[in-house]
Structure 1
């Protein structure tokens, strides 16, 4: 369970959204919204590439903090805690219904990603904060960001839970969190179900090890359609407010290394064409 009462010099302001301001000395976070659902393995490779760029530039304080907002093509992923040999049987079963299956390096257990679900991958240097932001506070802020966005944008109140993530009620989960922190640099992040499309895929597994919990979405909670692009813009805004940073759209044409890598993945995703919208 995450207890979001964090001691330290920032705690008085970190979760006071009414008067949230940016920390003046910190650089902005640059965000990019992908237009096409991305293959998971290639997106993992992109995160690793950007992580290495950040590491190589950090000594000169020239590295950028980045938030990638995207959808994936249908894929089931397992967390680094899962080493059960039966996962091979699960992989066979789940790929047969039309999804990919990829082991991941994030925390957490088996879950689903696909169109209709917004995934956010922050690649941030927690060492930029004073004092250095710990992983616990980082995850806690992420959860608060999702809760506040759902409340402000959609009037959806979350249900407190002992589990990480955002719940509509005790048995309905709207958002998941699974992160990795290496050398104070973050990767992986959060996933928020927006449309109804992901729900049938979630029904094929016990997601996140919670056998009594089903996936919900913003659309099912509201009973109305929700646009992905508008939702991404709202999440970027709340991300900046929560982490007390200015948000700026990344100019991929001006960023030689980073921009080239992002555009290559955009091109790959577009070339893949259609995906299975429902399990076979």
Structure 2
């Protein structure tokens, strides 16, 4: 049996599901894309090639294994993009929550049944249909669960709006002893510079008390300010609009001291090093073209 344990974003990682890039299918048509950044690259003819994404994911797997992390991969589905395992499920405490995702991505969940079968059935939680939630919007942080959401009356008009207010209520009921704090995110179907697809596209804790933030990703300034006050201004690395577009907040912590980051994130990586982190740099710029990066590609199961 797998005994799940996730209470935060940065404790020492023991086991993770890492997405997979094999057989990810042909370049999607514009109308098939889930986000504005993918559309940009489809139209420009720069959409990532499968062999490049496989190399990037292999580099990520190698770093995880270097730190003795058990790396589990999904079963390969033919012509299916399975890179972003964070979208399909997430773990909080000892429960795995099935993300109610875009309906035609349900098969991706079936590709991790070999993992789910090792988890006690009562720890496998499937929210009701009206709860829309994806792992990129959910961040356990000790006593808190931070959730990115969009509750505008035009929610249904945004394919980029992935987590609704019913999800926030569901999580509060499922984890009554936690403080569930939600943040309204800025959404755009057409402009990737103005779209925070998930909470981890504009915010992520690192280490024990630090965070990466992008102010414009938040619709309500007071909610952004709450995070600044919570972590302390001196502990925050504020990223620019362009850095958010390049997914600088979507790095991944192996432990409170070790971070995996993209090799082109020069400003961020040097800040992390000045803060005492070991930064494992890997190439991940091709995968980033699909508006997801390192955190999006992982589904952590056990942290110490």
How does the TM-score come out when normalised to structure 1? 0.27
How does the TM-score come out when normalised to structure 2? 0.25
